[in-house]
Amino acid sequence: MRVEPLERALDYHFQRPQLLKQALTHRSFSADNNERLEFLGDSILNMVIAMALYQRFGSLREGDMSRLRAQLVRQDALQHVAELLDLGSFLSLGEGELKSGGHRRPSILADALEAVFGAIYLDAGFEAVKRVVDSLYAEKLADLDPERSLKDPKTSLQEALQARRLPLPQYAMADERGEAHAREFEVHCVIDSLKIRTAGVGATRRIAEQLAAAAALQKLELA
């Protein structure tokens, strides 16, 4: 597999290509895989994003910076960056994963991207990996609107519906399962006027509602 196109997309050239190869190797392919590099890369990403938020938003408090960061480093954000890099095409996967479309699986893409960050750090140090992460996240950081992204999904959904003069969503408990120490709640968010019904599952009813609202908000924005 020629990795030059990936290096171009990253705007980074490896001195030790072996590190990149390892970052692209899923555990289904080899025992010498990217899991340890992912551990390292995860902490690097957290730190570089912390720094970017610290410098960009001089007046945000600690808790708000934490929430914004969580949005930027969660799996779907990483998956999106990985897809822009076409990272999936460069992965070494075991046969089972290959057949079941592992090169498109969000968790595999997100882990591999973090592993690539770990590999760049080992290859060339902190400033090199900071430059790459800052550049990959430049657009996401520029688009950040703390006012908007820090609102909880239920509030945002309510406001979005009010802006369209539509009736408010309804939340219904659909299921409650698991033993006392591992209880799970499933809540449905229903917007009759738009024929939208989404589900959220969480350890508390409140979390499940917020997740259902977030899913509905996404459908609403795509509609």
Active site residue 32: no
- Name the CA radius of gyration of the chain, rounded: 20
Report residue 151: phi and psi, to 5°: -70, 145
Tokens at residue 156, please? Answer: 């945002």
CB 137 within 8 A of CB 72: yes
Please, what is the minimum distance in Å from the beta carbon of residue 206 to its own copies? 7
The annotation status of 4 as a binding-site residue, yes or no, is no
Tell me whether residue 38 or residue 123 sits nearer to its own copies (CB atom).
Answer: 38
The annotation status of 179 as a binding-site residue, yes or no, is no
> How far apart are alpha carbons 116 and 4 in whole angstroms?
14
- The residues with which 25 forms a beta bridge, in sequence order, are 92
Going by C-beta distance under 8 Å and a sequence separation of 6 or more, which residues neighbour residue 51? 130
State the residues that interact with its own copies by CB under 8 A.
35-36, 38-40, 42-44, 46-47, 50-51, 54, 60-62, 65-66, 121, 126-127, 130, 180-183, 185, 203-206
The annotation status of 111 as a binding-site residue, yes or no, is yes
Please, what is the minimum distance in Å from the beta carbon of residue 162 to its own copies? 28
Please, what is the minimum distance in Å from the beta carbon of residue 135 to its own copies? 17
Tell me whether residue 80 or residue 205 sits nearer to its own copies (CB atom).
Answer: 205
* Candidate list 4, 32, 42, 152, residue with the active-site label: 42
